[in-house]
Amino acid sequence: MGPRQPELHVITSGRQSLNEVLRVAEAAFLVGMDYLHIREKQRTARECMEWVEALAQVMPRERILVNDRVDVAAAAGCRGAHLAYHSLTPAEARRVLKPGQQIGRSVHSLAEAKQAAAEGADYLLYGHIFPSASKPGLEPRGTDELRKIAAQVKIPVIGIGGITPENASHVLAAGSAGIAVLSGITAASDPQAAARAYREALDRWKESQR
């Protein structure tokens, strides 16, 4: 058996209306987006719940993750919750979520990755790997530490930050199980074409590993 199908995660920007996000999500899902993360820090629990319910009309509920709001993820019965540094720990979130729901955790170092894995995270998001418009002035972390994390933790690691269809193969070659994209898809003039370009880059890399 070859490597697993690389995952394509899309993360909302916090700057778009629900209608805009619905349009992006539907278009991206049709061409191979695996998971959508609702990352809307400024919205209330009630609003986040409304987003999940609306998005569940255009893509499967089990492909939707809610950032930080473990209560919403549990109530909505979606794929699970993605935890930031300021969120509950994976162990605490596990008490709230339903059996079978997933917990992701954003990490920025090997030490954080090992800790999150030990606390029961199901997957990790590591970055930012390349220079990123959403992290101006912050030095990108590159793929060296990603390679160490992927080799030393047993759960999937998803790379994030400045990833394009052209450089995605470097992230996968470092051991990443997939990539997460924000503005590369959400801010694209044609989100479907953008998502397709990412999906094709991931599939091309997998083919090259046979």
What residues contact residue 193 under an 8 Å CB cut-off, 6+ apart?
A: none
Question: Any idea which residues carry the catalytic annotation?
Answer: 128
Enclosing H/E stretch for 47: helix 45-55
Q: The tokens of 79 are what?
A: 């794929």
The count of C-alpha atoms lying within 13 angstroms of the C-alpha of 49, restricted to the half-sphere facing its C-beta, is: 10
Whether 22 and 55 have beta carbons less than 8 Å apart is answered as yes
DSSP 111: H
Quote the radius of gyration of the chain (alpha carbons, Å).
16
Give the helix ranges, DSSP H, for 67-109: 70-76, 90-96
Q: What is the dihedral of CA 30, 71, 92, 95, to 10 degrees?
A: -90
